[in-house]
Structure 1
């Protein structure tokens, strides 16, 4: 069971910022950011909004605070949580991930143990070649840059990875601050890969490129059979999430 709430905008929209069906009206005019002892806070008419757990909405950098502030400034008559993914990331980092870091790192490590980039198709050969061309460099990167050495396998039968590699992925996750760890924990299930998530977090893969690498099988099937409107909508939402995570990682480090 996941220890952090999903970034899925449909789920978030139903939940909102509190467990209620009530639509919240915009109650502010001016949005800005302000530096304080704990970092940079969003301000609404000079006052800092609270997270769902009633903590100040304070971020580690001015750039991160401005990203969140943009979402508040863009709200219309009613607050729409589905349009505020960076705000949800910040609230999750502050309220939840800060309290369960070890468990969140365990989840990232678990993905390393069953990483998407290790499972190559047995057939058709064209798909297997495409996967090998795309994923092999990222397994090599993980071994060289992260010291996470993962072995590929053909087919879908689970192959246990070296426990040292899984432990290393966990260690790297725990080195991150709460905000970066939150982004990593969101990126890993989105991409099905701890390797691609770390590459995105470290800025060596863009959100768009990481997402496309994660959906090679899906894209292959679409080329064979086409794609319907509902599937295209889901894909677009997931791609937007990956692109948002790229920006998130950039602003929390700025």
Structure 2
């Protein structure tokens, strides 16, 4: 039964503008989320991307080929109903941002971390007014509560759709600063992803790539890029 997939039952998927946002209709019937909420999204661009995913389905519906639909569903069914919890969870990254934890050696890795991460911390200080402390090793580096609060404010004002995208940008990179830089269009998603992978890429350069680890990294990279795309669709 786990292989069961619903069959396509509609001929046309279309976008319908309504008083609360943009709906997706299948042969005139509005699409619902898995939790039976109305699938109403904030922008025409997002609605059209979702409609295109439904139109692209063949005989059987494959949710794996519908990433925008899945993200919109998550925003409505999950993020909307636990908004404060999601914001609190993501704000914690401001107190343990990847960019603040540096290696003590070897020198090559130290230099690569500094080259990739120092400019981002400088950007956060100049643009966001956030000054984060940096330490060596994995022990927690205490941050100024004011700085953490400022980073929290960067995500607290997002609607549930943008917040769903921010969740993946932050959790997949391990950095609230990098996510903010992408959302503010300071750096491209590829640049942010590369900066988040300095440690892993260093290990690969020293010991070679592991097929299983590389496959897992590619899944995360694709999810990160999708999150950036979904964020762009929210406005």
Q: How high is the TM-score relative to the length of structure 1?
A: 0.87
* Structure 2 Cα separation of the partners of residues 166 and 40 of structure 1: 35
Aligned length: 234
1:122-175 CA deviation, whole Å, 9 max, x = no partner?
111111111111111111111222222211112221111111111222222111
Asked if 2 retains the 8 angstrom alpha-carbon contact of 1:111 and 1:194, the reply is yes
1:191-246 CA deviation, whole Å, 9 max, x = no partner?
10111111122222222221111111111111112213322222221111121122
Aligned to 1:219: 201
Aligned to 1:203: 185
What is the CA-CA distance between 1:32 and the residue it aligns to?
Answer: 1.9
Asked if 2 retains the 8 angstrom alpha-carbon contact of 1:119 and 1:153, the reply is yes
Shifted more, 22-31 versus 207-216: the winner is 22-31
What is the CA-CA distance between 1:85 and the residue it aligns to?
Answer: 2.0
Structure 1: gaps (5+ residues): 1-19
* Structure 2 Cα separation of the partners of residues 35 and 219 of structure 1: 46
Larger Rg: 1 or 2? Answer: 2
Structure 2: gaps (5+ residues): none
Per the alignment, in what secondary structure is the counterpart of residue 14 of structure 2? strand
Q: How high is the TM-score relative to the length of structure 2?
A: 0.93
Question: Which runs of 4 or more aligned residues in structure 1 lie more than 3 Å from their structure 2 counterparts after TM superposition?
Answer: none
CA RMSD of aligned residues (A): 1.6
Determine which of 48, 65, 76 is the counterpart of 1:66.
48
Aligned to 2:75: 93
What is the CA-CA distance between 1:110 and the residue it aligns to?
Answer: 0.5
Aligned to 2:175: 193
Per the alignment, in what secondary structure is the counterpart of residue 30 of structure 2? coil
* Structure 1 Cα separation of the partners of residues 26 and 168 of structure 2: 27
Correspondence 1:241 to 2:229 = no
What is the CA-CA distance between 1:21 and the residue it aligns to?
Answer: 6.1
* Structure 2 Cα separation of the partners of residues 126 and 246 of structure 1: 30
* Structure 1 Cα separation of the partners of residues 147 and 50 of structure 2: 35
Aligned to 1:229: 211
